[in-house]
Structures are given as structure tokens and as C-alpha cells.
Structure 1
Amino acid sequence: MPQRIVRVLIDSPLPQLDRLFDYTVPDALEGTVQPGVRLRVPLRTVGRIVDAYAIEVADNTDVDRPLSEIDSVVSSAQVVPPFLYTLARKVADRAGGAANDILRLAVPKRQVRVEKQWLTAPEPVAETVADDAVSYANTLLDDFPGLADAVSARERIAWSAIAHPVSTQSGDTVGAWAMLVAAMAAARLAQGESTIVVVPDYRDQDAVLAALDDFVNEAAVARVDARQTGPDRYRNYLRTLAAAPVIVVGNRSAVYSPVDASLIVMWDDGDSLLEEPLAPYVHSRDAALVRQELTGCGLVFAGHTRTSDVERLIGIGYVREISAARVYAPRTILSSPTDHEAPGIRIPSSAYRAVREALATGPVLVQVSRPGYAPVLVCAQCRTPSKCAHCSGPLHAKARGAAPQCRWCGRTAHGWKCPQCQSVSVRLASSGSERTADDLGRAFPGARIIVSDGEHAVTTVAETPVLVVATRGAEPIAAGGYHAVLLLDGDRMLMSDDLRVSESCLRWWSNAAALAAPGAPVLLVGVAGEVARAFATWTHAAFAQSELAERAPLRMPPTSRVAMLEGDHESLRTALTKLREDVPNLARDAVLGPLPLDGNGDELARALIRYDYALGQRVVASLRASVIAAAVAGRRSTRTRPNRPPRATLKLHTDVADPRL
């Protein structure tokens, strides 16, 4: 008998439930079930009522099997439009994850009062852009010849930002990049089109919002970030569901905004904050590429540096590079101790003189690698790293003369003794932001010093003589720009075993250099080699090309895709065997491992799979099928043998940026 059917996506973390389920619509709910609404449906396998989204509704459909009825309609608000589910499904399929995990990132938690107000309120009207603001935006876009036409044609483009601060009409100081991003968004809004701006953190978001004030009204902008309260975040999300164009500015989840965007702008895609830490671990850059392919919108990658990922796309012709009309580079200087100075000195005399001269007229920025006072302690006699006696965590000192504390468990290490030489004394092996501030206070008596790090957040400083000591990424912006920038601990930053450490260091230094006023010295201390030359000559694209050339023979990302599979040995071997059967043309050396995971004995193991982009769909589909099969088998084993602990299911992470066994 024909009946109305609704296909729903169940809100569940189980991978075997990552598909659409059919339910019938009872007569009492006939007029309320629409695509995108929240539902409550029975799940017979667990014998309870669960949350779900209505994805498709079909009228007068013949079915040859008994179907359950939906339990209730939670709300009439259609919070998951068809496009958003399609995007979530495609992104999840590329990453070997669940569509529901993507929707969980995109759709905020429901706020009943806000939703009721939205349902009864009139539709938002389209905001206009004043003629003088449009003219100002076009003037800024002219600094990059061809950029305005490329954005209008909805091309995929990349450009390197001009690295110096500028002032808005209201007197705020922002990066030149923020003004250009705001100009692009305003130009699209003037044409009746929406824009999504994706930035790494709140500092970048505040810069874009301040720049947008020069072009559009506040009502034309929707914020998306974790700093908002639940009601505010849900209110802005509902605003993006309206037909009226809007400029969305937010962090990594903003890329999933349901707005009908004609342009996506991603700033500083190399920042780790754009990597999603939750399954299925999709980088915002990859989600933006999937969305662009799905909708045909314009896509812009911008930054002070060029990531190897974007450079690969430029190399294959998928993204077009656009350069500024004039070349601008900060006044970068490589500073090292002279022959007359002690080796390993932290601030050479030349850098000291530059800081002293700049401090006489305005603010000076000093970038350090780590926060705190003494992040690392070693034995004063044998230099063995100091470890906690309880958990073997590293010890650190919070202040001069303070007792060592463990970073892991927080215990104070009273009566510490070196296990190697039995010494009871420790030595400060590194300087954090607070110790650097103490040292600079003695070197520059009378100078005002500000510390900006994770525990001391400072966003702006005035145009007055002040020494600002900041960790990477926490540098406040100075009114008019810094009169000098001193980059310390560069050699220590490069010691990280991260595959992309050179790329990251160049980005950290360049973002700090972009805060300097035009012509102000930017001094990089104690670093040599290719990355230092790229910074000194401001040739970031060439450095990205060299990084790609070095990784290609090793088939390391981004020259190849790398997936990481974790689980028990039996499930892992089964999955890798099935992968060879499903993708017979996979390279013989594509699989690395499996090897036991540290700290888990022989129970769990990990394997890496390297594969070409052309094989991505088949490889990910095979691995995802194995993840589902392992989850079903583990659930079945707990039902047949209740006393047996559940089997460890497989965990899949595709597109690993730094693959290590």
C-alpha cells in the first residue's frame, strides 16, 4: 500500500549506522515532516528512541517490507538543508568517516528559545554595500592584478599577502591581508552573493571583523566560533540558512556553513588549528576543496607563506597563483654571534643594539618558542633531562627558585635525585616567555615588558615603547606596527621531529615579521640553512617547491596521501589483506607496518598506507568497509560472550599530515 516514507540519518557514533534508514510517517505528523528537520525515531537494535535528521521525504512510495514509524518531530526548523547533507556525505566518504560526525561539527546544539524566535521572525533582508565602500574595495583589489576578475569567475586561486599592518578607517590596526579579504567579501556582497571566510583563531577573526567594519554593516556578518555562547552561535547558524546573502567569518567549522556561498577564503591554511581533532579528522582545506568541486564556488588560499599542499595544487594546475602588483618584503636580517662573542649566546650584540634603538621610539616584539619560566630542566651535573619519579613526565620550573613540577601529573618534585649520577641539583636548560622577560628586564632596565602566551593573552598594544615577549601564534598586534621584531629560539624550533617543522617555522617567523612596521628590522637569531635563506629573501613559494621535491621520493604527504589504521592485530591484518584484494594496483611498498603501539603491549598495532590521489576513493572505501566490519564483529562478540571484553575496533585516519609509526 502506498505510504509516505522519510529517510533519516541517525545520530549515532556506530560506523555501521552511517547510512539512511527508512521510516513511515504517521498521519498525525503528516504535515510536519520536511527534509532537514530534527526527529526522534525508534532503533530496534538497541530498543530505544534516538535522535535523527530527516534527509529525504518520498510520497506514495510502495514498500515491500514492514517499516517502523517515526516517534516525533522535535522541531519544524529545517536545520540540515539537502546541500549540507550532500556536502557532509562527500567529505565523510573522502575521509572514510561518518556523515553524522561532519554534521555534528556544522550544526550547533539546539537552543529552543532562539529557534522559536527565528521561526516567528520575518526573513532577513539583503544588506547593501555603499558605493564608496565598493570603490574602496576595488582599489584594494587592484593591488593584485586579475584578482577581482578571478573571484568573479569563481576560480581556484592562491595569493601571498603583503606582510605589513595597516589602519582601518576607525583607527584599528590590522594586517594588510585582513583588509584585502574584507574587500573581496564586500565586493561579493555588493553583487548579492555570500562569502565564507575561514581563519585559524580568534585573533585572525577579530582582524577580519575589524576590517569588515570599513565596508559593511554588522548585520551583514555572521560569526562562527567557539567563543560565542550557545544561543549566539545557534542564532548565527540560523541566519546562514536564510536566502539573504551574508558574510560568514569563523574558525575551521565555518567551512560547513549552509550559506549559498559564491566564494570561500581560507587564511593561513598551514596553521594546525585548521586540522580537525575529531573524527574523521578532516582538514578545513580538504573540506573547502570538496565544497568547491560540489558547488563550483570560488576558492582562495591566502597566507604570508605557501604551504606545500597548496603548492602541489598550483603545480598540477588545479589552483592558479596571483601575485601582487608590487613586491613587498619585510626588512629581514639573519643575526648570529660574532667571533668575539661567546658561542650559544641568545641575543647577539647586533640584535641587542637594534632592539635598544627601536625601543627608544616604539614597541618591540620578541618571539620565543615556549611559554613559562623554564620549560625544561636537566641535572646540573650530568645534564640528563629531569623526569618525575611518579609518572616519568618532564619537570619544569614555574618561577626563579621555585621547586620543580611535573608537566604531566602536576606533582612537585621535592627531594628529586638524578637516577644517573645521584645529584640533587637541577639546571635551567631552556628559557620560556617569563624567564625571557626577566632577562630582558635586566638587559633593558626601566623598560616596560608585556608577556603574551597561552596563560597571558594580550591582543593589542599601544604605539609606545614597550617590550612584548610572546610565544609563536600569541603575538599581539601593535598600533602602527612594531618598530623591531626579534625572533629567538629558531634553532630550538627546528629541532622538532615533525615532518613539516621547517614549513611551520617559516610560517611562524613570517607571521611575526608581518606585524612589523614598514622598514622596521626583523632579526632572526642563530638560524642558517635553506629555511633561513627563504625567510631572508622572502621566497616562500620556492621553499614550498623544494619541500615537495624532497618528499616526492619518499612518497610523503602531500605528494601522496597517507592513511593511518589502528586496531588489534587480527582486525588490522584482515583489513590490509582486504585492501590488497580491493586495490590490486596498490604499490608493493604502500603499507608500512603494522607495529605495536607504544604503551599498549602487543594488543594494539598501527599501520600506514601510502597511496596516490587517483586511488584515494578505492583505498578509503576498502578501509572504511573494514572499519564497519570490525565494529559489527566486536559488537557481536559481546552479545555471544558477555563476560568477554569488547574487541578493539579499527580506527581510521586518512590524510595524515605527519605520518610516523
Structure 2
Amino acid sequence: MSGQEGGTEQLELIRSTLPRTRTPRTEATASTDPVASVVVDTGLAHLDRPFEYLVPESMADTAVPGARVKVRFAGQDLDGFVVARAATAEHEGRLAPIRRVVSPEPVLGPTQLRVATAVAARCAGSLGDVLRLAVPPRHAAAEKALALDPPTPDPLPGAGGTGGAVGTGGAGGPAGPWDRYAAGPAYLSRLTAGESPAASWLAEPITDPSQDWPAALAAAAAATLAGGRGSVIVVPDRRDVGRVDAALTQALGPGRHVRLTADQGPQARYTAWLKVLRGHVSVVVGTRAAAFAPVRELGLVAWWDDGDDLLDEPRSPYPHVRDVLLTRASVEGAAVLSGGFTRTVAVQRLVDTGELRVIAGGGVRGAAPRVQVAGEGVEVERDAAAASAHLPSLAWRTAKAALESGPVLVQVPRRGYVPSLSCQTCRTAVRCSHCGGPVALGSRQAEPACRWCGRGVGRFECRHCGGRELRSSVVGARRTAEELGRAFPGVPVHTSGAGAVLDRVAATPSLVIATPGAEPVADGGYAACLLLDAWASLDRPTLDAGEEALRRWLAAGALTRGAAAGGQLVLCGAPGHTTLPVVEALVRWDPAWFAARELAERGELSLPPTVAMAAVTGDRRAVEVALRLAHLPPGVDQLGPLPVSDDAVRVLLRAPLEEGPALASSLVAMKAVRSARKEKTSIQVRMDPRDPAT
């Protein structure tokens, strides 16, 4: 073998070890509409727009508007949605081809795109962030398993799809859930007629499952479906979804609606979402994940209890379910129904402006329990059992009498055992010497320890007065259950809270200790309800402390039997030296008066929702530079910066309501500039924060 031959063999050996480079293969483009506009998930604010790509001939029938695709962008393959096809391109340069079609399923229709674009603009966010909330991740097995064509639906229950399903209270039948409201039957009639009424509904506290709020929502969905249109119903949590789901099954029959929640699992959630997209069903009930459900011929958007923070999206751009559904109603011409036992100030503003009409009942006093405030008047006797249970005598006597006829609900504002300790002498809260966190007791036998870092306190000595004894500032649900168990021997005690939430309890006598939002439904309603530590709910350093306290109290009271059936509610721990409007609203069961009062006060102080507001949070220098980049519209007030942590500040931007869109637009532009500059420090921009101070 010659040296040349040996060198050639070595060269071939080296070449065989090198990675092979693929020769680009040129493929013919589609003959019809060869240009696709694609929304690419870049995650960059300054690239938040559609880009044009060529459609290869092999993808001509699958790269349809709404389909998921893979495209080459900045040297990497990224996900995207085809939003349009065109015959010619606006871009004058060379276009790259679509790499592949992930799925030809048109998951992003033009209506959903308009809604997502409007939500992004309102929240000063990016379209990509909204689409991640609106369209769930693909599940290939779910796409293959579900039939493309919807099945033939069974007739609606009741004659002509109305009757009992719609709840109009036909001749000889029981009154429907809307018949107790003066404007209720008219609202349902307009839904069936294909109209789009918008209403704020103050629900009466009814313990009869055939007449309560889930049944009323189901009747509204049935009336809309009878008119040939679909509905989206959003509620705060899984237990509420279960109640409305059962009511929808009763009103519509099986198979005519789906549940859509974030905790269903990838395949179950995507299957439910596909059933809506492909037209298998027209009614959706779910948590905030259902707000963007692609219902065909949408006729009604409804939400329940929008004051619950579970309806506030914690991911960018932080849209509230109320705002998403109002946007959908505006874009798609749907009716609106805002329901709850109370009314938020945001909804009250819509009522005052005439955007929502009022639906309220006239028999609230009879349906609501009798409300008493512990401590009013002179308590002559002091029961030893009441003292050991840390209950006012009035509350203890009410509970003892009510236990003869049914269960008693005890709402405790804090979970745990003793979540907060203070000095026995000066009442100063005890803080951890290492991290500054609150000190608590985990159980009866546990030693005081920090709730943040877990370190023990050891021998306590107050820094302010030198005291050496501790006292409980707030008693948690587990400690309350322990004390009430001793005060009422032989009575079963149930607890419901984080980690162990009960759905229902029997009508037999028992004590149910629950934190706000975790109260189980009692068969036939609770005989009495005790609201403990009212001051802990009112003493929160937030703008909506009173509004939130009333919402929690009315939600618990609504699970209690009406005054006509002997139901009683006792508020414990309210300040006795003055009359608070929120306590007065509870006693009178008048949430509309309180919401109007709160809105008027916020208007005088130029606070949301009477003004548009944005919160910009981040590193001090980053926030200062960002605000210099933002060309804010005239009339914007800058409040701050205020420290929110050791290394972050917050600036509030306040503007008249009519300048809200301009304020959001200027913040979007500012974020795009920062993104183009590749700023390393991140900032958070949030429109209309729930509480500007937090």
C-alpha cells in the first residue's frame, strides 16, 4: 500500500468520525396561500407579533389557521400558532419555511385570538403570555381518541327545552330558582330569545339544593342552550365546580356539559377542552382555567364570587376572570351574569355606570339567618364551659341550643394550632430573632418555633417590657377544635381546612371547624354559625379588608338555615366601642349598601376601581430606568417608590379611567424597549392590582 493510499484511507477514516451535515432540501411551496402568519412563542416582549413563513406543499392542507407548528427562529425551533394564510407576503426578504405541523387541530380560532389580544392589551401583557393561559398543552392521545364530529344531542329535559330545566316554575310544579327574584324570569326569557342582557345578581342564602345558587346558574345555562347558544360558568374552586356540575346534570341531562379545571391532569383537561372546541358540548363549568374555553356560539358568560382571590390569575399578565369574561362578552356578543352573596366594588362600579343591571330578591331577611353580635348588651352570666372554649357566653349558648337540632359551623380565620404568639404583659407580637418571622405553636405539646425558618424560641424574654410569658394572639382551627371538643363533650367535631377540606356533612348534630372558603355544605343547612375572631379578619393591612371580611362572613352565613327555620349567626370578636359599617352590613344582610359605600369612599380618595392603576415592581434602579422609558400619557400620577422588600421597590401609576388603555399601551411599549435592550434585571408590571399596597 502506497503512502498516498494510506493517507487517503486515514482521511476517509477521519471524515467518517465527523458529524454529517444535511444538505438543505428545497421543497415546493403551497400553490394556494403559500404565506403563513405565525405567532411565535419567543417569550420576548419586543417580538410579540406575527411573523411570516412559507408553507411547504406537503403542509398545505395541515398548516391551517389555528394549527400548532414548529418554526425556525433565531437559530432554534420554537412553537407557534398559524393565525392566517395569504397569497403574498408583506416582508420583502426571503421567508423561511415552516419546519413541521405539530397538529392540524385549529386550536386558536379568530375569535379566541381577538379575545386574547384584547386581554393582553388591557393587562399590559404579551399575546404569548395570554395564549399560554388560553390554550392548554397538546395531548396527542386525547386528539386521536375523541371523535371529530359531535354526537347528536338528546333533547333538553322539560317540554321544549324549558320547564323545570329553565326554572320558570311551570303550572303545578315547584318554583324555579329564579322565581324568587323580580327580574329573574325576564332575564331567562331574554337568554332564550338570543339576547345579551348583563346583570349583577345578589343571590339569596338558600339551603335547598333545588333552589340554591348552583341550581340558578344551571337554569341560566339551560335557558341559553334552549336559545341555541352555549355558556361558560367560572367558579372559584373544585368544590364549587362539583356543586354546579351536579346542578347542570340535573338541568341539562348527562353529556351536555364538561368540567374544565387545572387539576384534571393533562389528558382529561385536554379532552374536555377538545369536546368544547369540536362542538361536542356547549356548556362549560370550571375554575379560572375555563375562562378561555372555546365555546361555539357563546351566549352567556357567568362567574360566581369574583371577590375570591382564586379567580385572580397569579401568572403574567395577571388577568382576573371577571375581566376576561367581560372581554369575551364584548367581543362575542354574549350575556353577562355576575353572581355572589355579596358584590365587589369592581362590580358595583359597573352597576353604577349602567353596564350591569341588578337582579336581587325581596325575601332576604326571611332566607338569611338571624344575626347577632356577641358582646352587645350586658352579659350577666359567665358560663365556665364558654370560658374554657374561649367563646362569648352568647355564642356558647347559641351553639348549645343549635346542637339539639343539627350541625353548627364555626368559622376560624386562621388555620393551624396557635399561628401567632405575643407577650402576655405588653401584647407585642413575638418575632424570631434569626429571621424576623412570626412565632407559633404547632400543637399542644410543641415548643414555640418560627413559622418561617423553624427555629425554636428557647427561653423567651420580651424586648420591649422584659416579660417572660407568652399568650396566643390568634387561635387556629386545630386549637379551636380541641377547645370546643372539651366544651361540648360527646359531640362529634370535624375540621375542614388546608390539606383536608370536607365537601359535605350530615344533618346530625356536630361541630364543624373550618377556615374561610373551606366550609362544607350541610344537608339541610347548619342550625347555627359562629364567626370567631372578627377583629383578625378586619385588621388585615389591605385595601379590601372590610370587603373581604363581609364576603367570608356572608358565605358562611349562607350555609345556615334561614331565620324562619331557626337559623342563627353569631359574630364574635368585633370591636365593641364603635359600630363598623361592615358589621352593620352583616347584621342587616345588606351587601349592596356596603359595596356602594365602599365605592363612594374610594372615589373620594381616587383609589381603584374608580381610577386606572398600574404597579411596577423590581430593583430600584431598574424601575427608575423603566419609567423613564415609558412615555406615560398626561394626567398620570406617580406614587412612590415604596420598598416592598430588601432589594425591591414598587411604583404606583394612577390615571383617570378613560386613560387606562393609554397607560397600559405605554407600559407595553416600555417592556418592549427593555426586552430589545436585553435588560438583565426583571420588573413586574401589573394593571389594576387587587391591592396596590401588596
TM-score (norm 2): 0.87
Instruction: State the distance in 2 between where 1:325 and 1:127 align.
Output: 37
* d(CA) in 2 for partners of 1:122, 1:659: 48
Equivalent residue, structure 2, for 1:131: 158
Does residue 376 of the first structure (1) align with residue 420 of the second (2)? Answer: yes
User: Of 538, 541, 557, which aligns to 2:589?
Assistant: 538
1:313 aligns with 2:363: no
Aligned to 1:39: 69
**Which one-letter code corresponds to 1:215 in the other structure?**
A
Q: Does 1:25 align with 2:62?
A: no
Which of the numbers 23, 35, 39 marks the counterpart of 1:9? 39
Q: 2:438 is matched by which residue type in structure 1?
A: P
Structure-2 residue corresponding to 1:94 = 122
Q: CA deviation at 1:565?
A: 1.1
Which digits, 9 at most, give the CA deviation of each residue in 1:127-149, with x for residues without a partner? 43122572112222333232213
Instruction: Please state whether the residue corresponding to 1:322 is helix, strand or coil.
Output: strand
Q: Which amino acid aligns with 1:451?
A: T
Deviations 1:62-89 (A, max 9, x none): 7521111111111111111121111111
Query: Which residue of the other structure, out of 605, 609, 612, is the alignment partner of 1:558?
Result: 609
Tell me the residue number matched to 1:358: 402
Aligned to 1:83: 111
Contact 1:593 1:606 in 2 (8 A): yes
TM superposition shift of 1:61? 4.3
The offset of 1:447, in angstroms, is: 1.1
Residue 10 of structure 2 is matched in structure 1 by none
Q: Could you tell me how far apart the structure 2 residues matched to 1:399 and 1:57 are?
A: 64
| Letter in structure 1 aligned against 2:271 | R
Q: Could you list the per-position Cα deviations for residues 201-249 of structure 1 after superposition, in whole angstroms to 9, with x for gaps in the alignment?
A: 1121111112122212231111111231211100000011123542100
Separation in 2, partners of 1:196, 1:253: 11
> Which of the numbers 50, 66, 73 marks the counterpart of 2:101?
73
Unaligned runs of 5+ in 2: 1-28, 170-175
Partner of 1:591: 638
Conserved 8 A contact 2:379-2:393: no
* Deviation at residue 492 of structure 1 after TM alignment: 1.5
Specify the alignment match of 1:289 in structure 2: 326
| Residue among 313, 321, 330 paired with 2:368 | 330
Aligned match for 2:204, one of 140, 162, 172:
162
CA offset at residue 420 of structure 1? 4.9
- Distance in 2, matches of 1:88 and 1:244, equals 23
Q: CA distance change for structure 1 residues 99 and 126 in 2, over 3 Å: closer, same or farther?
A: farther
Letter in 2 for 1:335: V
More displaced stretch, 534-543 vs 336-345? 336-345
Alignment of 1:189-588 (within 5 A): 189-260=225-296, 261-324=298-361, 326-328=363-365, 329-337=367-375, 338=378, 340=380, 346-414=390-458, 418-420=462-464, 425-519=469-563, 520-527=567-574, 528-577=579-628, 579=630, 581-584=631-634, 586-587=635-636
1:376 maps to amino acid: S
User: Structure 1, residues 228-275: CA drift from partner, whole Å, max 9, x if none?
Assistant: 121110000001112354210001121111112200111111111111
1:463 to partner: Cα distance? 0.7
The amino acid across from 1:523 in the alignment is: V
Q: Give the residue type in structure 2 aligned to 1:16.
A: H
- Give the distance between the partners of 1:525 and 1:421, measured in 2 at CA: 30
Could you tell which deviates more after superposition, 514-523 or 125-134?
A: 125-134
Which AA in structure 2 matches 1:488?
L
Amino acid at match of 2:140: V
- The answer (yes or no) to whether the contact 1:200–1:252 under 8 Å persists in 2 is yes
Deviations along 1:485-527, one digit per CA (max 9) or x if unpaired, are 1111111110001101101111101011110122211111232
Whether contact under 8 Å (1:624, 1:652) holds in the other structure is: no
Q: Deviations over 1:94-143 (max 9, x none)?
A: 1100112112112222111111223x543333343122572112222333
Letter in 2 for 1:161: A
Tell me by how many angstroms 1:5 deviates.
1.0
Report the alpha carbon displacement of residue 399 of structure 1 after superposing the two structures with TM: 1.0
Shift of 1:421: 5.9
1:627 alignment partner, one of 651, 658, 671: 671
2:59 maps to a residue whose letter is: L
Which letter maps to 2:125? G
1:312-361 residue CA offsets vs partner (Å, 9 max, x unmatched) = 11111111112225444413322223354789974222221111111012
Is 502-511 or 96-105 further displaced after alignment? 96-105
Given that residues 5 and 23 in structure 1 are in contact (C-alpha distance below 8 angstroms), is that contact kept between their aligned partners in structure 2?
yes
State the distance in 2 between where 1:409 and 1:569 align. 27
Q: CA deviation at 1:377?
A: 1.5
Any unmatched runs of 5+ in structure 1?
Answer: 169-174, 636-645
Q: How far apart are 1:620 and its partner, in Å?
A: 0.8
Report the number of matched residues: 634
Residue 39 of structure 1 and its aligned partner are, at CA, apart by 0.7
* 2-structure distance, mates of 1:167, 1:572: 52
Over residues 420-476 of structure 1, what are the superposed CA-to-partner deviations in whole Å (9 max), with x where a residue is unaligned? 566665332221111111111121111111111113211100010101011111100
* Pair 341,48 (structure 1): closer, same or farther in 2 beyond 3 Å: farther
2:189 aligns to what?
Answer: 149
In structure 2, relative to structure 1, the CA distance for the partners of 1:93 and 1:62 (3 Å cut) is closer
What residue in structure 2 maps to residue 639 of structure 1? none
Q: Secondary structure at the match of 1:468?
A: strand
TM-score, normalization by structure 1:
0.91
**8 Å contact from structure 2 (residues 410, 531) kept in 1:** yes
The corresponding residue for 1:642 is none
CA contact (8 A) 2:411 2:515 kept: yes
- Whether the 8 Å contact between 2:258 and 2:281 is mirrored in structure 1 is no
- In structure 2, the CA distance between the partners of 1:574 and 1:413, relative to structure 1 (3 Å rule), is closer
Given that 1:451 and 1:468 are in contact with CA atoms closer than 8 Å, whether structure 2 keeps it comes out as: yes
Residue 200 (structure 1) shift: 0.6
How many Å separate the matches in 2 of 1:549 and 1:225?
A: 36
CA distance in 1, matches of 2:473, 2:92: 73
Percent identity over paired residues: 36
In structure 2, C-alpha distance between the alignment counterparts of 1:599 and 1:26, rounded to whole Å: 54
Amino acid aligned to 2:374: S
How well do the aligned residues superpose, as a CA RMSD in angstroms? 2.3
Distance in structure 2 (CA, Å) of the matches to 1:564 and 1:383: 35
